[in-house]
Amino acid sequence: MRASADVEETLAKLAGAPPGVLIGEPCVERARADAAALDGVDPATMPLYGVPYVVKDNIDVAGVPTTAGCPGAAYVPDADADIVARLRAAGAIVVGKANLDQFATGLVGTRSPYGTPPNVLDPTLVPGGSSSGSAVAVALGLVPFALGTDTAGSGRVPAALNGVVGLKPTVRRMSNVGVVPAVRSLDCPSVFATTVGDAAAVAAVMEGGAGTRSPEAAPPMAWPPRVGVPAAWPPDVSISPAMAAWFAAAVERLAALGCPIVSVDIVGHLQLGRLLYGSALVAERAAAVGELVAKVGGGADVADVEGLDPVVAGIIARAGEQVGVDVYRAEHAAAEARRAVSGVFADVDVLALPTTLATVTLDEVHDDPVGRNQFLGTLTTFVNLADLACVTVPMAPGVPGGLQLIGPAWSDDDLAALGGGYEQASLADRDPACAVVVVGAHLDGQPLNGQLTSRGAVRRRVTTTAPTYRLYELAGTTPRKPGLVRVAEGGAAIEVELWAITPAALGSFLLDVPPPLALGTVELADGSWWKGFVCEPRALDGATDITHAGGWRRHLTLIS
């Protein structure tokens, strides 16, 4: 009964939604049927039991027209998009289709014959696009979450301008089957919500499926992560005073969480981003929907075609004029630019940027529809081209400015944890997927630490073991080494470090561990168990008990 009550409440809200938020009427019959199907189902068996949401109208919902923002291109799909099917299986309920910039071509939210959704924070501003209706529906409190897509910033820009969370996953973490393509190789389903935790929970349900990539082990991320921010804004980049002030305050907030702030050069990132629509790479947009646009136009002047936006039609038509040799040249240039920008993650774990350089008004877009659109994407277009993940969070309550937290592919969970910490102004400890506990010569700054750092390992935290260990200095070792031994009684907590490392690197690291040391399993003070250094009992012959020191560093200080 609860699911049906929530759906009816949401449908009533949608009936009063401002013009331009939805395309068509709410999905009343489907929503009620899905809610009724949950009767008698244990809510604990479905992570999104009865949660209503809206879907950007370039994503298929079975039996409901998909328009992609163009009435002439509408069709009625027989099946749900893969991501919608996964959400349905998890208990979520579609209640409507959301407006968008036509064919997901735009970052402004005004390129739709179905109207322009209002910017929730300032009615003089554009709502952002292309996932305009999805962002506004969440910002208005009509639904707890919404689906969009993000190719060049279509999920992040409207989230930022309306003060909600926009989660853009690793490219092909989720299936695009049943999604009208914009740039097929780069398109990402995206999630809008009011908190990062909610967005991440929805994304976890959506991942996998047809056409997706196998998850890869992301490079270990230090925690708190090292955050890169622009050393300086390039001369041709103009950030508004308001956005600069909001961003400066956001960086201070990250620093207060314990994140080391590192200055980085973003010129290469911006150059890569310009290639998406400023080079022959734009041909892929024509490949995605060019035939559909031509079919809708029927060869007529676009001004005479019902529902076809002339700006969108012109963009796609020009994309179709690219020739093969120029596309290959652009691909080669993009590959070189990707290599150049990937190096930033050797020095930082996360790149922090404003989502937009400024807000943009409706009047400004009316006067300069192409230029203002490009301006909004200055800091977003490189992300998918560089195969990065991102989450956008409001810089501050009520501010039409979002903070992008950008990381390598498959760093989605770490980015969500950082974004959630930013929201709460408190960064909790985050255990890595794979780590090793070190106690002596492999500690940070000690003689054998390079065996870890050379394999890309990063220190996540300094902590102690459970109070069930004794520590010894072993006899006759070079360099000097301790031995950690678990005991049944008379133990103590010993200071150790937890180092994040990939499984493959941990395997090669094991080969460097000499006897009588070994990698076993060590219990930490919080009750967690990790692979770590232990000692064979025979090694204690002639060893000195140094448990009283509480750790190897303290022991070295005491004897120096």
Interior angle at CA 113, CA 110 and CA 117, nearest 5: 45
Cβ(221)–Cβ(411) below 8 Å: yes
Identify the helix (H) or strand (E) that includes residue 172.
none
Helix axes 412-424, 196-206, angle to 10 degrees: 160
Cβ(133)–Cβ(99) below 8 Å: yes
Q: Which of 70, 82, 7, 80 is nearest to 38 (CA)?
A: 7
Cβ(98)–Cβ(154) below 8 Å: no
Q: Is 154 a catalytic residue?
A: yes
Token pair for residue 545? 């008990």
Q: Which residue has the tokens 């796609």?
A: 316
Q: Which of 477, 475, 483 is nearest to 547 (CA)?
A: 483
Give me the catalytic one of 112, 130, 131, 411.
130
What SS3 state is found at 140? Answer: coil
Per-position DSSP letters for 305-352, written without gaps between them? STT--HHHHHHHHHHTT--HHHHHHHHHHHHHHHHHHHGGGGT-SEEE
d(CA 356, CA 107): 11
What SS3 state is found at 398? Answer: coil
d(CA 394, CA 405): 11
d(CA 474, CA 446): 16
DSSP label at 535?
E
Helix axes 28-37, 2-15, angle to 10 degrees: 170
Q: In 363-378, which positions are buried (b, 16+ CB within 10 angstroms) versus exposed (e)?
A: ebbeeebeebbbbbbb
Q: Is 295 a catalytic residue?
A: no
The beta strand positions in 357-451, using DSSP E, are 388-394, 402-408, 435-438
548 CB-near residues (< 8 Å, 6+ apart): none
d(CA 528, CA 525): 7
Interior angle at CA 59, CA 57 and CA 62, nearest 5: 100
Cβ(307)–Cβ(71) below 8 Å: yes
Pairing of strands 261-264, 227-230: parallel
Q: Which of 54, 26, 24 is nearest to 136 (CA)?
A: 54
343 CB-near residues (< 8 Å, 6+ apart): none
Cβ(501)–Cβ(435) below 8 Å: yes
Give me the catalytic one of 112, 132, 134, 154.
154
For the annotated catalytic residues, the residue numbers are: 56, 130, 154
